[in-house]
Amino acid sequence: MNIFSSEKKFIENQSITDSILNDFKVTLDIKREDQIHKHVSGNKFRKLKYNLLEAKKLGYTTVLTFGGAYSNHIAATAAAGEILGLRTIGIIRGEELAKDLQKTLSENDTLYHASTSGMHLKFISRETYREKTSSVFITQLKKEFGACYIIPEGGTNSLAIKGCEEILTSQDKNYDIICCAVGTGGTIAGIINSIDSHQKVIGFPALKGRFLTDEIKKYTSKTNWKLIEDYHFGGYGKINREGIEFINKFNDQQHIGLDPVYTGKMIFGIFDLIQKGVFKKNTRILAVHTGGLQGIAGMNKKLKKKKLPLITIR
């Protein structure tokens, strides 16, 4: 079975109904990329598509990639590899996780599902992990695992951008603003490449740091986009009570689950900007739901320890 070979079934954008949108006379629709596939969804589907087709075309039987212990990319690569009959290797940040693997797997849903999907997990120290793009380290990994198709952390490379250029359809030309959560910058770069000149993309970084603009510029020469860096909630993987309550209320009212690492922060940011009057009357906004819901279970374990409310999953 090849989940990438046939055209993705068309999923209609979902319109959001909310008094704030009426008050400020703007519309907000959500592109439900999270509904593409149960395990290979959102931007992961887009980023993996051409990479895994290329791996197959070149005759590779093994795909190796990198990620943290709760990585959406690791989860999706493991699932896609299993479906496509490719052996997958995950190089995971944090050697302490290997000390008691059974305990790690019983406590971490992302790694448990990756492992049961057949992914071989290799845990390395944070120091070694920083070498993930060095040719010495890559050569070492190839010696250990044999010939393998390597996908970088977060899945971002030029084939991933090509996949992300397929997120928007011709119907989406009607929107004025396209919004997207940003991690490595690959997804937004693909979206920017595919928009018309009358449209603008706004990116909501999920982490602190000014380096993202340069990263995005590596993959696009267009200029009708900007990043709004006010909604990272303190950094990557961080969220507070206000953010959690927003995600839960949105889920209750709109029946759309958001993840606390990426899409929750983006939608929170969009509503905040609307209420600040940033968008002029009749602006049509499209927010891309890039998936990531698999990470909620892991996040809830952390929130429980911090005595914060949990994210509700429908």
Ligand X SMILES: Cc1ncc(COP(=O)(O)O)c(C=O)c1O
| Residues binding ligand X (CB under 6 A) | 42-43, 72-73, 154, 156, 181-188, 259, 262, 290-292
Cβ at position 291, least distance to ligand X in Å: 5
Residue 24 or 299 with smaller CB distance to ligand X: 299
Cβ at position 188, least distance to ligand X in Å: 6
Cβ at position 195, least distance to ligand X in Å: 16
Q: Distance between CA atoms of 239 and 87, rounded to whole angstroms?
A: 35
Q: Distance between CA atoms of 51 and 155, rounded to whole angstroms?
A: 9
Distance of CA 256 to the CA centre of its chain: 16
Give me the residue label for tokens 């839960």: 248
Residue 154 or 269 with smaller CB distance to ligand X: 154
Residue 4 or 219 with smaller CB distance to ligand X: 219
Residue 142 or 251 with smaller CB distance to ligand X: 251
Cβ at position 19, least distance to ligand X in Å: 27
Q: Which one, of 278, 283, 311, lies nearest residue 297 by Cα?
A: 311
Residue 73 or 113 with smaller CB distance to ligand X: 73
Cβ at position 273, least distance to ligand X in Å: 18
Q: Which residue is nearest to ligand X (CB)?
A: 292
Q: Distance between CA atoms of 239 and 231, rounded to whole angstroms?
A: 10
Residue 69 or 188 with smaller CB distance to ligand X: 188
Cβ at position 247, least distance to ligand X in Å: 13
Q: Distance between CA atoms of 151 and 176, rounded to whole angstroms?
A: 33
Cβ at position 305, least distance to ligand X in Å: 23
Cβ at position 47, least distance to ligand X in Å: 7
Read off the tokens for 264. Answer: 């929750």
Residue 81 or 190 with smaller CB distance to ligand X: 190
SS3 for the chain is: CCCCCCCCCCCCCEECCCHHHHHHCCEEEEECHHHCCCCCCHHHHHHHHHHHHHHHHCCCCEEEEEECCCCHHHHHHHHHHHHHCCEEEEEEECHHHHCCHHHHHHHCHHHHHHHHCCCEEEEECHHHHCCCCCHHHHHHHHHHHCCCEEECHHHCCHHHHHHHCCCCCHHHHHCCEEEEEECCCHHHHHHHHHCCCCCEEEEEECCCCCCHHHHHHCCCCCCCEEECCCCCCCCCCCCCHHHHHHHHHHHHHHCCCCCCCCHHHHHHHHHHHHHCCCCCCCCEEEEECCCCHHHHHHHHHHHHHCCCCCCCCC
Residue 117 or 187 with smaller CB distance to ligand X: 187
Residue 65 or 117 with smaller CB distance to ligand X: 65
Cβ at position 203, least distance to ligand X in Å: 8
